[in-house]
Structure 1
Amino acid sequence: MFPNLTSLDLSCFCGDLNTLLSRIPHFVSLTSLNLSNHPTFPELGLRALLKNNKSTLIPHFVSLTSLNLSLVFSNVGYLKRSDMTFIADSFPLLEELDISFPKGISGDDYYYNYNNALKVFLTRLSELRKVNLSGNSYVNDSLFFQLCMNCKFLKEVVMYKCRSITHAGIASAIYQRPTLSSLSLTNFKEAREIENVTLYFIDSLHLDLQCAKFLNDQHFNELCAFLGDLVSINVSGCDDLTNSAFFALLRNCPLLTEIRMESTNIGVSSIPSMDLVEYHQVKSLHLAHNSGLQDEHIKRFALMFPSMQFLDLYACRYISEKAISKVLNRCCKFRHLNFAFYPQPKLFLINFEVSKLEVLNLSNSRIDDGALYAISKSCPRLLHLDLEDCHHVTEKGVRLVLDNCVHLREINLQYCPKVFADTVAKMILLRPSLRKIMTPPRFRL
């Protein structure tokens, strides 16, 4: 029965775990085993399981392991030194290990013995690719460094609530293990106010530091020097970052294609003096909720990023129509634009063509029928149009869009008081490509 079984999750099993494991037949070749949430470590059952698969005794159970073996012991009570020794002896080729949030640890002597065992344990499992040490509160910089030094294939580390880790420890470990692609941590020693920080880099080429309140321009500029292979970064909500951080990214990250700096202080300080360089690789700028952005910044961006395809200026209220027009005329490859909450009524009245544009968000703006006509003529490939809460748009303007945007699939007309409910039926007949209509007020099916 179940000869192809490779993964077994017993985290919610309520019976005798040792008995169950001992009865797993010899022909089952497990590569993933989850034994979380149990009060004790099931050593007897694991010994029987290993013996069933290989009729020899420890430490000759290596033949059972595979190159993608994964063990999960999260939330296990009383994980002892002998338990960790058993795992290291029995599964030396282990690739994924989760020993997060162990219970029952108390007393300085126990902590000392447990931590020493953990250090020996992790250094012996040299094939580890992924490890979760969350809740092991005595995990420190030294242990993290040794883990990165000894596990040459290590890619992902999770260390939530490991309060003895410092900035220096993180930096030295990253430097030691260049294959690392993901580091997730929270409440570490020098940044307790952070809810959650996840770093993705090197292999995935993505760095996510959203809402990392400890970041300032100085720290960030130093970090950028080590991010030469970065292609995507998210520092939204880091409100101490300014223009200096933005331009540090451009100087140090030649492969960067996406920048997310929403709700920062970009635009507040002066633009650093530097030669005007075109960054053709930058395709996406997310700059929503940056009230410091002015025309000078947007005009500079138009010259710097001629291949830009995604621009989000949601709630950036102090940018004129002329500045936006310069961007649209310079960057003709746009596919996604977000000008929600734009206060100027004449947006899009200036002549331009964005023939590849597919998504346009103008919600809560002062757009009117004249601007909608300009959009319909300039954006023939438009697929999604958001006009929510646009009080100056009428049925006439909507019809112009439907006449000219023959590929339109989705339109949002919620809270548009001058678009009447009976318009919906006409829209369906006029534009059969539509798949989703968010209806205007007073519509009843």
Structure 2
Amino acid sequence: MATTHLQLPDECWESVFKFLTNSDAGDNNHRHLESLSAVSKQFLSISNHLKRSFTISDQALPFLSRLFHRFPNLTSLNLTRISNDTNLDALLIQISNSPFPLKSLNLSNQHTIPLNGLRIFSKKITTLTSLTCSNITSLRNNDTLFISNFFPFLQQLDLSNPKDIQITDIVVNSMSIKLPKLRKVNFSGHYYINDTLFFHLCKNSEFLEEVVMFKCSFITNHGIASAIRERPGLRSLSFNKLRLFGGNDNFFDSLVILKGLTCIDLSYSYISDEFLSAVAEKGLPLRKLVLQGCFGYSYVGIFCLLSNCRFLQHLDLQNAEFLNDWHVVELSSFLTDLVSINISKCSGLTDFALFTFVTKCASLSEVRMEYTSIGKKCVENSYTLMNFVVNPQLKSLRLAHNTWLRDEDINKFASIFPNLQLLDLSSCNGISEVDIGQVLRKCSKIRHLNLACCSGLKLLRMDFQVSTLEVLNLSESGIDDRSLDMISKSCFGLLQLDLARCFDVTEKGVRQVVVNCTKLREINLHGCCKVAADVVDSIVFIRPSLRKLTAPPGFHCSDSKRKLFLRHGCLVC
């Protein structure tokens, strides 16, 4: 009987690809596309057309024409890794000649905003709706006027944390008028912004939904209250170092007008129980609450708030030192929709709090418990801990700086949380000869493992393949060439390896990793005093996938050699 070969059209495969990539963590979507693109030329073409975001670095500049041809549907570009102002202007001009439907552009971490390149860019690409220029060394009136005049359709603008700023009130008022479509602004670190400027921003921006203004000390409670009354459609507010005493002041009265408020960040503010209770009574539809570093409130206030706001997905109570394990038992019953929680620097919390949250909060995928008492043995909790079973939903667990943690605790967590993708155990000095290999065997989906500053860690035992591990941080640990030998044989999918200040690592171990880890893109050898400086030359050419190499002590790179390395696609620093 004759059979006909069935070949699906590209449109069907695109739907399949989109389903596969959207079913996992967003940051890892491009990893799935890379794997799929290796199957066939058809899959390569489809995955290239699906790629929407791209980060351009110095070493990619010689290949841009090919990259732009390969990825024709890019909508977001990140240029934060371009180190030279001249290169950035030229790059923007080159981008403007490409038919990208760009919507988002990130120019952060530059000395100045590249006005010459942006001028030409803006004339040819009129689809931009998001511009990020954070951590700019020098920000001036001309910069903000230029943005207002040349990008009138911006909906998101981030000018946060400039190092040197000289901007006048008139320019800020003008910007709020010339950018009528603004929905999200981040002016953190703009110390000159006062109540009047914030009022005009809210008044002039009809569609404003999200405001981030940390480190703006001239904005007062009264000023915030007056401004947000002008914009009742606000959905997210982020301010810090406020003083919120009660529920009978202007700030509270204005806050509860925002019926669509889903996110509020009040980091490092004084907050009274009375204020939290008053907010709770109004039943705001909060999905994200950040009280990191806040003080003045107690368990009474947070209990009242959480018992009335039962749809929270993201909660940050870092530094809430009054919390204990039994408080967590009560609070967790109100947090059934919780996706992520930060309870770092809550020294009264132990393993029991962790297991309670992941058991009662069925959607919880990210937990941050740094500087707590995880690993501390509590007699009253020991029996109850035996009742906890496997919890497959947890994907990210950050336990840095927990001095009570021991090897048996890590193995226990690995058994209970088998689907972990990120595990941070940095500065957990109680970890010594822990069999990390067994942890990786039990947690077979781990992509990111951080063991930095685990000074007692001498050896990683891995006698099997760890195909998913992509990022491994061993900086300032006690590992040596024996560990690197095992890593090189087991972690063939490794993308980033940090060996900074690993004083027992030598050139031999580094070479083994570079030769066997065929996908390696970044390696850090800073402070590795037993690694010969001349190893850099051979490493760059041995591993063509390498994109960044931080050299060991004693390495000196001439301009000509640096350019040679860049031509091979690797930045050596």
What's the TM-score, normalizing by structure 1? 0.68
CA distance in 1, matches of 2:293, 2:328: 18
Query: % of aligned pairs identical?
Result: 40
Aligned to 1:407: 519
1:178 to 279, 282, 285: 285
1:416 equivalent in alignment to 2:528 = yes
Counterpart contact for 1:38–1:77, Cα < 8 Å: no
Aligned to 1:25: none
CA distance in 2, matches of 1:386, 1:30: 38
Deviation string for 1:13-53 (max 9, x for gaps)?
9xxxxxxxxxxxxxx99999xxx9979xx9xx9xxxx9xxx
Deviation at 1:269, TM superposition (A): 3.0
Deviation string for 1:70-110 (max 9, x for gaps)?
9x99624799xxx99xx99x99998678999789x9xxxxx
Deviation at 1:395, TM superposition (A): 1.3
Deviation at 1:178, TM superposition (A): 2.2
Find the residue that maps to 1:311 and give its secondary structure: strand
Structure-2 change in CA distance of 1:416 and 1:222 (3 Å): same
Counterpart contact for 2:424–2:449, Cα < 8 Å: yes
User: What amino acid is the match of 1:225?
Assistant: S
Deviation at 1:225, TM superposition (A): 2.7
1:246 to 354, 369, 372: 354
Structure-2 change in CA distance of 1:336 and 1:37 (3 Å): same
2:480 to 340, 343, 368: 368
Deviation at 1:321, TM superposition (A): 3.5
User: What amino acid is the match of 1:375?
Assistant: I
1:382 to 494, 513, 526: 494
Structure-2 change in CA distance of 1:149 and 1:217 (3 Å): same
1:234 to 339, 342, 364: 342
Question: Unaligned stretches of 5+ in structure 1?
Answer: 7-11, 14-27, 51-64, 106-110, 192-198
Find the residue that maps to 2:439 and give its secondary structure: helix
Aligned to 2:247: 141
Deviation at 1:250, TM superposition (A): 1.4
1:320-359 equivalence runs, <5 A = 320-344=432-456, 347-359=459-471
Deviation at 1:346, TM superposition (A): 5.0
Deviation string for 1:234-277 (max 9, x for gaps)?
22222232223222211321111111111111111334434232
Counterpart contact for 2:488–2:516, Cα < 8 Å: yes
Find the residue that maps to 2:423 and give its secondary structure: strand
Find the residue that maps to 2:409 and give its secondary structure: helix
1:277 equivalent in alignment to 2:385 = no
Find the residue that maps to 2:401 and give its secondary structure: coil
Deviation at 1:440, TM superposition (A): 1.2
Structure-2 change in CA distance of 1:145 and 1:362 (3 Å): same
Counterpart contact for 1:202–1:230, Cα < 8 Å: no
Farther off after superposition, 394-403 or 210-219: 210-219
CA distance in 1, matches of 2:238, 2:434: 52
Structure-2 change in CA distance of 1:126 and 1:432 (3 Å): closer
CA distance in 1, matches of 2:474, 2:268: 42
1:437 to 511, 531, 549: 549
Structure-2 change in CA distance of 1:241 and 1:171 (3 Å): farther
CA distance in 1, matches of 2:458, 2:371: 26
Counterpart contact for 2:312–2:335, Cα < 8 Å: no
1:265 to 362, 365, 373: 373
Structure-2 change in CA distance of 1:149 and 1:320 (3 Å): same
Find the residue that maps to 1:416 and give its secondary structure: coil
Counterpart contact for 2:434–2:457, Cα < 8 Å: no
CA distance in 1, matches of 2:184, 2:395: 39
Q: Which has the higher helix share?
A: 2
User: What amino acid is the match of 2:284?
Assistant: R
CA distance in 1, matches of 2:485, 2:238: 55
Counterpart contact for 1:389–1:413, Cα < 8 Å: yes
Question: Unaligned stretches of 5+ in structure 2?
Answer: 1-125, 130-139, 142-151, 157-166, 299-305, 558-573
User: What amino acid is the match of 2:235?
Assistant: R
Aligned to 1:75: 194
Aligned to 1:60: none
Structure-2 change in CA distance of 1:135 and 1:284 (3 Å): closer
User: What amino acid is the match of 1:314?
Assistant: S
1:291 equivalent in alignment to 2:403 = yes
Structure-2 change in CA distance of 1:156 and 1:276 (3 Å): closer
1:167 equivalent in alignment to 2:273 = yes
Structure-2 change in CA distance of 1:138 and 1:422 (3 Å): closer
Farther off after superposition, 315-324 or 411-420: 315-324
Counterpart contact for 2:459–2:480, Cα < 8 Å: no
2:425 to 313, 322, 333: 313
CA distance in 2, matches of 1:98, 1:375: 43
Deviation at 1:132, TM superposition (A): 7.2
Structure-2 change in CA distance of 1:181 and 1:338 (3 Å): closer
User: What amino acid is the match of 1:328?
Assistant: L
CA distance in 1, matches of 2:154, 2:520: 50
User: What amino acid is the match of 2:355?
Assistant: F
Deviation string for 1:212-253 (max 9, x for gaps)?
444443444433332221111222222232223222211321
1:107-256 equivalence runs, <5 A = 127-130=233-236, 140-143=246-249, 147=254, 149-157=256-264, 165-174=271-280, 176-182=283-289, 189-190=296-297, 205-256=313-364
Counterpart contact for 1:283–1:308, Cα < 8 Å: yes
Deviation at 1:382, TM superposition (A): 0.7
Structure-2 change in CA distance of 1:357 and 1:74 (3 Å): same
CA RMSD of aligned residues (A): 5.0
CA distance in 1, matches of 2:353, 2:546: 42
Find the residue that maps to 2:385 and give its secondary structure: coil
Farther off after superposition, 404-413 or 359-368: 359-368
Find the residue that maps to 1:440 and give its secondary structure: coil
Find the residue that maps to 1:308 and give its secondary structure: coil
Deviation at 1:371, TM superposition (A): 1.7
Counterpart contact for 2:310–2:336, Cα < 8 Å: no
User: What amino acid is the match of 1:384?
Assistant: Q
What's the TM-score, normalizing by structure 2? 0.54
Deviation at 1:400, TM superposition (A): 1.1
Counterpart contact for 2:505–2:530, Cα < 8 Å: yes
Counterpart contact for 1:141–1:166, Cα < 8 Å: no
CA distance in 1, matches of 2:155, 2:432: 59
Structure-2 change in CA distance of 1:418 and 1:374 (3 Å): same
What is the aligned residue count? 385
